Amino acid sequence: MHPLRVRCAMSKKPVELTLAVEHLSNEGLGETVIPNHDGAPPRTVMMRNALPGETVDARVLKRRKGVWYAECATAGEPASPMRSPSACQHFPRCGGCSLHHMKEQDALQLKQSQLQQALAEHNIEPQGWQKPVRINRLGYRRKARLGVRCVGEHVFVGFRESFSNRVARLDNCVVLTPQLSGLITPLRSLIGQLSIASKIPQIEFAQGDSTAVLMIRHLQPMSPQDLVLWQQFEQQHAVIILLQSGGYDTLQTLDGQPPERLGYQLPNWGLHMQFLPHQFTQVNLEMNQVLIRYVLALLGNLKHKKVADLFCGVGNFTLPLARQGAQVWGYEASADAVAMAEENAQHNGLAERVSFAALDLYTDSQAAALPVQVDALVLDPPRSGAGPNLPRWLADFKGDRVVYVSCNPKTFAADAVHLQTAGFVLQTVGIFDMFPNTTHVETIGCFHRTGAHADG
């Protein structure tokens, strides 16, 4: 594809091109390949806020490994039928989201095709597809890490800009919950008044059902006057401020106390879950309830069944499984998450039904084998996948059902190969839009053992 127009290509000024957008990448970027000069290989241009079929004015912002990354504006009609007006005034400069310009159905299709491609690359053919599940496009995000940048008098608080490492200047964020979003502008003005404004690299947000917490990472001690400002902020905005001078073990309240717990309800199972602000919890707690319901439905009647819940966090799946009548073994690398899971079991009256252990499931020798013979396996690993012990767990396992919750289609597909080798078929799979407007996708697959148990 030849650019329709090129400006400034030979000068130091940014290259500007008028281009027809050919494809949509898995990252939600418009993509076009243009010829290079002097017989060099063609060049790929990746464009934010551009959709296939559109003609755009692109301005190159970054060049990396022969690829040009460009911002752009539509240069003419017609806009793609996939285009929808963005609900975010900071899109596409803010890199927190990349799909605000797409209709929801098309964004879901893009995410599902990521999963389809990943499975096809490993020759995994699901027997059935669950329709993509969506519930809330905005105001869903209860956890976030925002950068802080001071430039002269100005303070920026935000996600990184797309195609750059700079902190975006945000006034609000429509994917955060309204309470968290409403804190961004007041935070900018408060940080500007601190004696150590430039020594605050980031702020983490975490919100439970009733309380929001801000974890303020600071590289130098706060002055007494800084502490007064934070106290006023706490009262005015009904949030809890935690100061963090080093790792998470340094988190403390303004009066030097350890952090309090946050909580969320799982009303369908009569559960109240607690967690510490830095601990892993699902960012979209409404969708989390949908995930739990779906996982339980896939497992069917759990009365008197034994289940292993691997990568269990603070017991988000473990306790609903136990509430349905199963005996559950929950494993997790983080010792403080395991301690919280045990407390969660205790205060929800399920201590007799669960056993937790803090184990690195990738490396601990004890994690090479399943603890007991279980009837079902639930896996909810990090992005890196279930890890090197998966084939051994499957060799031990005599049950017929594995439910796999994944935040990375690539590792899900790679792990599906081990399941296939062990005699399982992917009976049904589907995506859940846990992170709308971003290209992140949550997948749940149900694997069913078909024939004889293949060893190894």
Active site residues: 407
What are the tokens at 76?
A: 């003419």
* CA atoms in the 13 A half-sphere facing the CB of 151: 7
Contact criterion met (CB below 8 Å) for 44 and 32: yes
Give the neighbor-by-neighbor strand order of the sheet with 354-358: 354-358, 327-332, 306-310, 376-379, 401-406, 442-449, 424-432
Binding segment for ligand SAM (CB under 6 A), chosen from 84-92, 131-139, 168-176, 276-284, is: 276-284
Binding segment for ligand SAM (CB under 6 A), chosen from 87-95, 121-129, 212-220, 310-318, is: 310-318
Based on the shown chain and the rule CB under 6 A, indicate whether residue 289 belongs to the binding site for ligand SAM: no
Which residue number, 168 or 386, has a Cβ lying nearer to ligand SAM? 386
Q: Which residue has the closest beta carbon to ligand SAM?
A: 313
The gap from C-alpha 396 to its chain's centroid, in whole angstroms, comes to: 31
- Start-to-end CA distance of the chain, whole Å, equals 50
Near ligand SAM in 248-267, by CB under 6 A = none
- Residue from the set 69, 230, 269, 317 that interacts with ligand SAM by CB under 6 A: 317
Q: How many residues bind ligand SAM, per CB under 6 A?
A: 19
- Residue from the set 106, 204, 226, 332 that interacts with ligand SAM by CB under 6 A: 332
Residue type, 368: A
Supply angle C-alpha 92, 98, 100, rounded to 5.
Answer: 75
Which residue number, 181 or 316, has a Cβ lying nearer to ligand SAM? 316
Cβ neighbors of 164 (< 8 A, separation 6 or more) are: 61, 62, 95
Based on the shown chain and the rule CB under 6 A, indicate whether residue 337 belongs to the binding site for ligand SAM: yes
- Residue from the set 312, 341, 379, 446 that interacts with ligand SAM by CB under 6 A: 312
For residue 201, say if its preceding peptide bond is cis, omega within 30 degrees of 0.
no
Give the SS3 label for residue 215. Answer: strand
Q: Phi/psi class of residue 39: alpha, beta or left (left: φ > 0; alpha: ψ in -120 to 50)? A: left
Which residue number, 22 or 362, has a Cβ lying nearer to ligand SAM? 362
Binding segment for ligand SAM (CB under 6 A), chosen from 118-126, 147-155, 256-264, 358-366, is: 358-366
- Residue from the set 74, 181, 282, 348 that interacts with ligand SAM by CB under 6 A: 282
Phi, psi of 357 (to 5 degrees): -145, 145
Give the SS3 label for residue 8. Answer: coil
CA dist 323 and 355 (Å) reads 14
Give the SS3 label for residue 268. Answer: helix
**Smallest distance from ligand SAM to CB 209, Å:** 15
The gap from C-alpha 172 to its chain's centroid, in whole angstroms, comes to: 20
Based on the shown chain and the rule CB under 6 A, indicate whether residue 382 belongs to the binding site for ligand SAM: yes
Based on the shown chain and the rule CB under 6 A, indicate whether residue 360 belongs to the binding site for ligand SAM: yes
Based on the shown chain and the rule CB under 6 A, indicate whether residue 408 belongs to the binding site for ligand SAM: no
Based on the shown chain and the rule CB under 6 A, indicate whether residue 361 belongs to the binding site for ligand SAM: yes
Based on the shown chain and the rule CB under 6 A, indicate whether residue 409 belongs to the binding site for ligand SAM: no
Which residue number, 222 or 312, has a Cβ lying nearer to ligand SAM? 312
- Residue from the set 281, 327, 389, 420 that interacts with ligand SAM by CB under 6 A: 281
Based on the shown chain and the rule CB under 6 A, indicate whether residue 313 belongs to the binding site for ligand SAM: yes
Residue 257: C-alpha distances to residues 118, 206, 223, 254, 346 (Å): 47, 18, 18, 7, 24
Based on the shown chain and the rule CB under 6 A, indicate whether residue 343 belongs to the binding site for ligand SAM: no
Which residue number, 158 or 320, has a Cβ lying nearer to ligand SAM? 320
Which residue number, 407 or 419, has a Cβ lying nearer to ligand SAM? 407
Tokens 């303020």 found at: 216
Contact criterion met (CB below 8 Å) for 432 and 443: yes
- Residue from the set 202, 334, 355, 427 that interacts with ligand SAM by CB under 6 A: 334
* Residues in the chain, overall count: 456
**Smallest distance from ligand SAM to CB 354, Å:** 13
Binding segment for ligand SAM (CB under 6 A), chosen from 52-60, 64-72, 101-109, 274-282, is: 274-282
Q: Which residues bind ligand SAM (CB under 6 A)?
A: 280-282, 311-313, 316-317, 332-334, 337, 360-362, 380-382, 407
